[in-house]
Amino acid sequence: MIQFQCDYNEGAHPAIMQRLIESNMEQTVGYGEDHYCAEARQAIIDAIKCPEASVHFLVGGTQANTTVIASLLRPYQGVICADTGHINVHETGAIEHTGHKVLALPNRYGLISAQQIEQTILDHINEDGPEHMVQPGMVYLSFPTEIGTIYTKQQLADIYATCQRHHIPLFIDGARLGYGLASPACDITIADLPHLCDVFYIGGTKVGALFGEAVVFTNSHYDVRNFRYHIKQQGGMLAKGRLLGLQFLTLFSNNLYFEISQHAVAQAMRIREAFAKRGIEFLVDSPTNQQFPILTDKQIEVLSRQFLFSIWTRIDTHRTAVRFCTSWGTCVEAVDQLVAAIENL
d(CA 137, CA 225): 19
Q: Min. distance of Cβ 90 from a copy of itself in angstroms? A: 5
Q: Which is nearer to a copy of itself, 136 or 287 (CB)?
A: 136
Per CB under 8 A, the list member of 31, 109, 222, 282 interacting with a copy of itself is: 31
Among residues 91, 146, 173, 198, the one that binds a copy of itself under rule CB under 8 A: 91
Site track 225-244 with a copy of itself (rule: CB under 8 A), x = hit: -x-xxxxxxxxxxxxx--x-
Q: Which of 32, 18, 57 is nearest to 250 (CA)?
A: 18
Q: Does residue 211 touch a copy of itself according to CB under 8 A?
A: yes
According to CB under 8 A, which one of 102, 181, 260, 321 is a site residue for a copy of itself? 102
174 is an interface residue for a copy of itself by CB under 8 A: no
Instruction: Give SS3 for 129.
Output: coil
Of 106, 131, 167, 316, the one binding a copy of itself (CB under 8 A) is: 131
Site for a copy of itself in 38-77 (CB under 8 A): 59-63, 66-67, 70-71, 74-76
> Is cis: bond before 136, omega within 30 of 0?
no
Rule CB under 8 A: say whether 106 interacts with a copy of itself. no
The CB-of-85 to a copy of itself minimum distance in angstroms stands at 13
CA 153 to chain centre: 17
HSE value, Cβ hemisphere, 13 Å, CA-based, for 312: 25
Distance, CA of 307 to CA of 193 (rounded, Å): 36
Q: Does 221 sit near a copy of itself (CB under 8 A)?
A: no
Question: Strands 135-142 and 307-308, how do they pair?
Answer: unpaired
Minimum separation from the CB atom of position 13 to a copy of itself (A)? 9
Reported residue count of the chain is 345
Query: Does residue 122 touch a copy of itself according to CB under 8 A?
Result: no
Q: Is 314 in the site for a copy of itself (CB under 8 A)?
A: no
* Contact status: 261 vs a copy of itself (CB under 8 A): no
User: Alpha helices of the chain — where are they, by DSSP H?
Assistant: 14-22, 35-48, 61-72, 86-89, 94-97, 114-126, 153-165, 177-181, 227-233, 242-251, 256-277, 297-304, 332-343
Of residues 5-24, those binding a copy of itself (CB under 8 A): 5-6, 8-12, 14, 17, 20-21, 23-24
> Contact letters (x/-) for a copy of itself, 273-312, by CB under 8 A?
-------------------------------------xx-
Amino acid at 43: A
The answer to whether 101 contacts a copy of itself (rule: CB under 8 A) is yes
Work out whether 118 is an interface residue with a copy of itself (CB under 8 A): no
- Residue 38's φ and ψ, nearest 5 degrees, are -60, -45
How many alpha carbons fall within 13 Å on the CB side of residue 148? 28
